[in-house]
Each structure stands twice: as C-alpha cells, then as structure tokens.
Amino acid sequence: MADTFFLGAALAILAAAMLSLYRVIRGPSIIDRIVGVNVIGTKTIAVIVLTGHLFGRAELFIDIALLYALINFIGALALSRYFERKGVDVTSERAR
C-alpha cells in the first residue's frame, strides 16, 4: 500500500520534471535553461528520497539526496555568477 503510494508520487514528480525539461530544451534564453535545470534538480532530490523509501534503504538514499541538494545549489550559484559576468544574449529572449 505505502509502496504503491510512493511509486505513484515518484512517477508524478518525474512527469513534472519532464515538463521542466521542455523549458530547458525550448529556452528561449540561457537563464530559462538554468532555472529549468535547477527545478529538475530540486525535483530529483524528492524522487531520490522517495526511491530510498521504495527500496527500504532510506538511510542510504537520504545522504545521496543531501549531496545532490548541495551540488544543485552550488551549480545554480556558479552558473548564475558566470552569466552575470558574461552577459546574456538578450536577442534570443525577444525571438520567443
């Protein structure tokens, strides 16, 4: 019963991640892609934790989720810092 529930929840979150993937592929600007990747990262953390409970190895998977949260945060900061310096191609935003 609980397992089915966790599986359903994880699948729903995966479907949501696919929706965000549309934003990553479609753009239009690089900032949209960064936001999309960040969102997928956050959803992945939730999926990892749920997977841990599905497999009965929650104590192992929560560590992975914590690490993933750290990397997701640092990655978003590094990317936004980089494009803050470099500047974004605004014309690609106009041609939506």
Partner 1 sequence: MTVLGMALISGGVFFLVTGAVGMVRFPDIYTRMHAAGKCDTLGSLLVMTGLACHDGFVLTSAKLLIAAGFILVTSPTATHAIARAARQSGVEAWTAEGNR
Partner 2 sequence: MRRLSLFVLLFAAWLVLSGHFDPLHLAFGVVCSALVARLSSGLLFTETPSRRLLAATWGVVRFVPWLLVEIVLANLHVVHLVCRPERLRPQVVRFRTRLRGDVARVLLGNAITLTPGTITLDIEGDEFTVHAVSDIAAAGLRSGEMERRIARALDQSATGPRATEPAAD
Which residues make Cβ contacts (< 8 Å) with residue 37, sequence separation at least 6? 24, 75, 76, 79
| In the complex, least distance from residue 49 CB atom to partner 1, rounded to whole angstroms | 6
Give the separation between CA 70 and CA 64, rounded to whole angstroms: 10
Q: Does residue 64 touch partner 1 according to CB under 8 A?
A: no
Q: Are 72 and 17 in contact (CB under 8 A)?
A: no
Contacts to partner 1 by CB under 8 A: 2, 5-6, 9, 12-13, 15-17, 19-20, 22-23, 29, 31-32, 34-36, 38-39, 42-43, 45-46, 49-50, 53, 58-59, 62-63, 65-66, 69-70, 72-73, 76-77, 79-81, 83-84, 86-88, 90, 93
